[in-house]
Structures are given as structure tokens and as C-alpha cells.
Amino acid sequence: MASQEVPKTCKVILSDTIAKKLLAEVRETLAKVQDPNATKPTLAAFLANDDPAAAQYADWSKKTCEENGFNFDLRKVDKEVLEDAIVAANQDDSVDGIIVYYPIWAQNHQQDRYIQETVALTKDVEGLCHTHLFNMYHNVRFLDPPTNHKKSILPCTPLAIVKALEHLQIYNPILAYGNRLFGKTITVINRSEVNGRPLAALLANDGATVYSVDINGVQVFTRGSGIRAPRHKVLDKEGWGLKDVLPLSDVVIGGVPTENFKVPTELIRDGAVCINFSSYRNFDGPAVKEKASIYVPSIGKVTIAVLLRNLVVSDPVPVSANRRV
């Protein structure tokens, strides 16, 4: 009886808290690689939609950049000239990294994908260019083997979620690096090419069993075993849905980009960890706090910290020039 009366407590962790530690690391790296007389690295951010979430995200990005030693150059452009503006920034030596606020063509993700691919590989700090994604899936760490000076970038939102899971100690540091999610079951609700699918692969490669859910069904991602298949494996789970995977999951990650989707709280396991990376609230806040052990209502500020991390670990012109001195 007594155990039923112990109040359930859910720890709510804000993305700010997780971002702080990452930003301290970014400042440290920047101080190491940056000549004090050099100009600050510049992040060019293209805003070509009217999404208030994007505008708010741009405001946060500006503040974060300025507080941490970066220039933030917001460029508001019409979507019809966006491509030309990106091409100009690709060729502009004063721009070290480029980000673009998506979605632009809300109902045509394929055209957004075209724009993602238009960003020059060496300035893509979001990790959305095909070569970055391909390298992630294939566990290739550098863009320039065998020299290995230029790191391949992981896609920023999936990486932000990995960083959040590390902060929350879901990644167990007792285990060996690369094996720290072994034994964990994780549901990721979203299987887009830029967020959900790479996230599922990253988590599976670290040892988790990952249920990847979208409107078309469920796939399970697991780490390949043996020497010949070190990469993740994917299997379709015919007929499965949230009702089958949520009760099994230690961690539930929501990334559905619509206002009316809510993860059914009654299916979530008692004491699960719930993380939302959609700009809409995928969890019913008051209800999920009665169920979850940890709830992270948004990941946005971690993503910004990861962008700056990508900017200093990639090879921006002023930074790398100093690094080789």
C-alpha cells in the first residue's frame, strides 16, 4: 500500500540546462583554435519563411552566438531568391557556416531537400548535405581521408538529442563508448531523412533497440552484429503501431511537426524518459508529468549549441588556418 502512495515525481529538464555545458565546451575549443586577433567566426542564417517558431529560433541563435564569441548574420530573403543567396554565401570567404530555417516550402519537402543540398559541404553546420548523412550512416568520420583534418558533421537535431540523452545519463558512462545504450529500448516518432531516420540509426549504433514510427508504420533499428555488418539493421514490423512499441520503451522521443498530434500518455511506461523535438508539443505536459521520470519539453537550445560545436569542429576558414599554425 505504502508504495502506491509515494508521490510520483517527474524531473522536467529544460534545453537551456543541457545547452550550457555544451556551450562551455564550444567556448573552450574556440579559444584553443582561434587567433585572438582574427575576426569571430560568422554563422549566416537564412530565414525565408513566416514561421514564428523559426523567428524565435533565430532570436535565440543570435543571442547564443553573441554570448559565445560568434557573429550571427541573419539574412531574411524571399524564398524565390534563397537559392541564389545561398550560392553567394557558399562563395563568400567571410561566411564560415550556413544554416537555413526549414520548412520553406511547407508542403513540398523535396524542394527543401534541394536547398539543403545547395549549401556547400564545408559550410553545412547542420549536417544535412548528403555526404554528411552518408558518412553518418556508414560510420565515416572525416571528409578528407586519409588526411583526416576535416570532420564529417552529424545532423544537428539528432546530435542534440544524443547530447541530451548523454546529459540525462541514459547513455551509461559505465559502459564502453559505442555501447552505452545497450539494453535500452527507444521509440522515435518521426522518420524524416533529416531527423528521425538518422536519429534512429545513431541510437541503434550505440546499442539501443529503436522503434522508428511514422504514419506508414513501424521499423526496428538494431545494431548490426559481427565484423561484416557493423552498421545498423532495419526491419519492418508489419501491423505494429504506437500501441505495441510505447509500452516497451524506456525512452520516447516525439518529433511530429503538427499541432494536433499527441503521444497517447496512457501507453507510455511508468518512469519512461520523454523528449520532444518538434516545435509543437507532442506530449500532453500535465499528463506526461504524471507518468514520466524525466520530461524534456523542447530541444531547440541544445540544437543551437550543437550548430556552434559543428562550426568549430568543422573546418571554417579562419579557425582552421590558425589550427594548423
Catalytic residues, by residue number, are 156
Looking only at the bridges linking them, the beta strands covering 185-189 and 209-214 are parallel
Q: What is the DSSP string of 80-147?
A: HHHHHHHHHHHT-TT--EEEE-S-SSTT-HHHHHHHHHHS-GGGBTT--SHHHHHHHHTT--BSSTTT
Closest approach, Cβ 257 to its own copies, in A, equals 13
Candidates 7-15, 114-122, 238-246, 316-324: pick the segment binding its own copies (CB under 8 A): 114-122
Q: Judged by CB under 8 A, does residue 234 bind its own copies? A: yes
- The residue range among 213-221, 244-252, 266-274, 296-304 that interacts with its own copies, by the rule CB under 8 A, is 213-221
Closer to its own copies at the Cβ: 24 or 106?
Answer: 106
d(CA 23, CA 225): 35
Judged by CB under 8 A, the stretch of 35-43, 129-137, 171-179, 309-317 that binds its own copies is: 129-137
For position 258 contacting its own copies by CB under 8 A, the verdict is no
What residues contact residue 192 under an 8 Å CB cut-off, 6+ apart?
Answer: 109, 255
- The residue from 100, 128, 133, 218 that contacts its own copies (CB under 8 A) is 133
Indicate which single residue of 25, 67, 92, 117 sits in contact with its own copies (rule: CB under 8 A): 117
For residue 247, give the C-alpha cell: 509500452
Question: Is residue 191 at the binding interface for its own copies, with CB under 8 A as the rule?
Answer: yes
**R_g of the chain, CA atoms, integer Å:** 20
Contact 232, 205 (CB under 8 A): yes
Which residues lie below 8 Å from residue 39, measured CB to CB, with a gap of 6+? 71, 94, 318
Number of residues forming the site for its own copies (CB under 8 A): 24
Residues forming the site for its own copies (CB under 8 A): 80, 83, 107-111, 113-114, 117-118, 130, 133-134, 137, 191-193, 197, 214-216, 233-234
